Amino acid sequence: MNNSVINKINFVNEPVLKYEKGSPERIELEKELKAMKTSFADIPVIIGGKEIRTGNKGSCILPHNKNMVIGEFHKASKKEVEMAVEEALKAKKEWEKMNWQSRVAIFLRAAELLSGPWRAKFNAATMLIQSKTYKQAEIDSACELADFFRYNASCLPQIYAEQPISPDKIWNKIEYRPLEGFIYAVTPFNFTAIAGNLPCAPAMTGNVVVWKPASVAVYTAYIIYQLLKEAGLPDGVINFVPGNADEISDVVLKNEHLSGIHFTGSTKVFHNMWTAVGNNISNYRSFPRIVGETGGKDFIVVHNSANIHSASRGIIEGAFEYQGQKCSAASRVYVARSIWPSIKEIIIKKAADIKVGDVEEIDTFMGAVIDQKSFNNIKNYIDYVKNSDEAEILFGGSCDDSKGYFVDPTIILTKNPHFKTMKEEIFGPVLTIYVYDDEKFEETLDLVDSTTNYGLTGAIFAKDRYAINAAEEKLVNAAGNFYVNDRPTGAVVGQQPFGGARQSGTNDKAGSKINLMRWISPRVVKETLGN
Ligand SMILES: NC(=O)c1ccc[n+]([C@@H]2O[C@H](COP(=O)([O-])OP(=O)(O)OC[C@H]3O[C@@H](n4cnc5c(N)ncnc54)[C@H](O)[C@@H]3O)[C@@H](O)[C@H]2O)c1
Ligand SMILES: N[C@@H](CCC=O)C(=O)O
């Protein structure tokens, strides 16, 4: 590994484009949407750069138009998964020797392609496959992914530059080696940017990867793979292995060369993977590094000094953007009784203005939820509320899966701060509100802290600085990303490194030096010069 030249890489966030009528980006996007809907993708497993078509296939469907299938993907079987590990380890020999500048150049080139000629393709795929509006697609698949590539690239020289002191006649150095073995990247459906970052962050630091994308989002994951290939990523560095998660994990997690897991998804799946690693621990050559960013039950606390308009906007945007399918989405809100009537009026009006429907219509605010399983799960929660004496539906509550998986923005009011929907992650457009007595603000903060085991995001809306400080202090472990007078979603790479602790994950902050360090195994060399 030649780390001899440490030059700085400057970082700026990718600008978010506006998609105004007649703008070049809007014209390009519309062209791409049309092209994708009139063609059909045949997506292979890709191992060591070779495309493999197993014939055991899954479909790529549009959640908001469930009868439209725009592609099929081949699922890897045990045999392909074993091959993927083998090819990754073969590719490792050359890849880890490549100087870091050359490695990083590949990802910087990918970012240039993504922010330029590939932008429309990424956004169109994310709109169709994940049912995101153009705005949500733009901040995710174009901007956040380009930011991940560039920001991680800018962190690497900072890491490599950090060297120990060398007293007289001694030369000490740290070599920032990749891990020995391979990394298993398992990605969620909800962010194209996360799907790209999880395999690429370890690869950038010289590791090789077996990548299992979420089945409902294989279409966009394949475009990420193609982008990396176009940017010059050598074969075998990242191996693309869609398929049945249990079957793939069963092979990968037992392999002696597993050196790390880079996961984002639900807490339950992470528990299972961690348990499987524990059960195999004596079979591995090294202790696998386990990085997982998982679920959330994210809160907003509204103090009686809050600006009611910004708090109401924060509640609605935080809860319902991308149908509440952000790990950071606000799903439990605590409002001071004295301002509740005003907040209630504003949020109900705002919820009524939300257009739910086809994401290609420019004024749509919410598309469909991702699939039938998720639709059924969300509907079950709503039905539970309809049958409960402890809560009522203030707004929404309708679900319709006749054309696509549509759930209305739903606002629940509960008298019980420990009501089911105040505690469990629903991952849909469902928000529960609890109204607290103004004088019980401090007790309410304790309640916020103790109601769930999650610790991902949270927000306080207040003008009173004592209230803000009390919330920051009492909720110190309740959120890895905490917001003051802002919604708890929309973290930007390089500005708010993202991740939570408790049952929300290992808090290794995606898109940061902290995360990159997890894919590095430093070796310290001391050389005595004086004898
Ligand atoms: N904390 C964060 O940064 C963050 C970000 C995005 C999403 N999330 C969380 O992700 C979840 C939603 O995403 P999802 O529905 O894709 O999650 P999921 O857990 O259902 O799936 C995530 C990935 O794990 C795979 N998987 C499922 N079973 C597996 C197994 N036995 N072994 C290995 N992999 C397996 C899936 O196929 C998918 O690729 C929510 O809980 C959300 O909060 C967290
Ligand atoms: N960057 C995202 C987090 C991703 C969760 O799904 C946000 O902050 O909204």
Q: Which two tokens stand for residue 501?
A: 């602790």
- The Cα 434–Cα 458 span in angstroms is 15
Phi, psi at 228, each rounded to 5°: -65, -40
Whether the model clears a pTM of 0.95, i.e. scores above it, the answer is yes
What is the CA(186)–ligand 1 centre distance, in A? 8
Q: Nearest Cα to 383, choosing from 367, 407, 365?
A: 407
293 catalytic residue (yes or no): yes
Length of the chain: 531
Position 6 scores a pLDDT of 57
pLDDT at 7: 66
Residue 121 CB less than 6 A away from ligand 1: no
Q: Which ligand has its closest atom nearest to the C-alpha of 456?
A: 1
Q: What ipTM goes with this model?
A: 0.98
Does the beta carbon of 456 lie inside 6 Å of ligand 1? yes
Report the distance separating Cα 433 and Cα 313, nearest Å. 15
Kindly name the residue from 32, 96, 293, 360 that is annotated as catalytic. 293
Report which ligand 2 atom has the smallest distance to the Cα of 191.
6
- Ligand 1 within 6 A of CB of 217: no
What local confidence, expressed as pLDDT, does residue 402 receive?
98
496 vs 491: CA distance, rounded Å: 5
Predicted local confidence at residue 530, as pLDDT = 83
Which atom of ligand 1 approaches the CA of 510 most closely?
3
In ligand 2, the atom with minimum distance to the C-alpha of 496 is 8
Amino acid 9: pLDDT: 86
Tell me which residue has its CA closest to atom 7 in ligand 2: 490
Q: What domains lie within the chain, and their CATH numbers?
A: 24-294+508-524 (3.40.605.10), 298-492 (3.40.309.10)
The CA distance from 253 to 340, in Å, is 50
Both tokens assigned to 329:
């989405």
Nearest to 208 by CA among 176, 185, 241, 175: 185
**Ligand 1 within 6 A of CB of 276:** no
End-to-end distance of the chain based on CA atoms, in angstroms?
27
Answer yes or no: are the C-beta atoms of 470 and 368 closer than 8 Å. no
Dist. CA 305 → ligand 2 center (Å): 28
CA distance 54 to 28: 34
Residue-by-residue pLDDT tens, the chain, 531 positions:
444 455 678 999 999 999 999 999 999 999 999 999 999 999 999 999 999 999 999 999 999 999 999 999 999 999 999 999 999 999 999 999 999 999 999 999 999 999 999 999 999 999 999 999 999 999 999 999 999 999 999 999 999 999 999 999 999 999 999 999 999 999 999 999 999 999 999 999 999 999 999 999 999 999 999 999 999 999 999 999 999 999 999 999 999 999 999 999 999 999 999 999 999 999 999 999 999 999 999 999 999 999 999 999 999 999 999 999 999 999 999 999 999 999 999 999 999 999 999 999 999 999 999 999 999 999 999 999 999 999 999 999 999 999 999 999 999 999 999 999 999 999 999 999 999 999 999 999 999 999 999 999 999 999 999 999 999 999 999 999 999 999 999 999 999 999 999 999 999 999 999 999 999 999 999 999 987
Q: Specify the pLDDT at position 2.
A: 44
pLDDT at 393: 98
Question: Does ligand 1 come within 6 angstroms of the Cβ of 218?
Answer: no
504 lines ligand 1 (CB under 6 A): yes
For tokens 């990247």, what's the residue?
185
- Asked if residue 324 has its Cβ within 6 Å of ligand 1, the reply is no
Closest approach atom of ligand 1 to CA 273? 32
Cα distance between residue 329 and residue 306, in whole Å: 20
Any alpha helices (H) in 40-188, and if so which ranges? 78-95, 100-115, 119-130, 134-137, 145-161
Burial class (CB in 10 A: 0-12, 13-18, 19+), 272: middle
Cβ pair 198, 149 in contact under 8 A? no
User: What is the distance in A from the centroid of ligand 2 to the CA of 457?
Assistant: 9
**Ligand 2 shell residues, CB under 6 Å:** 190-191, 326-328, 489-491, 498
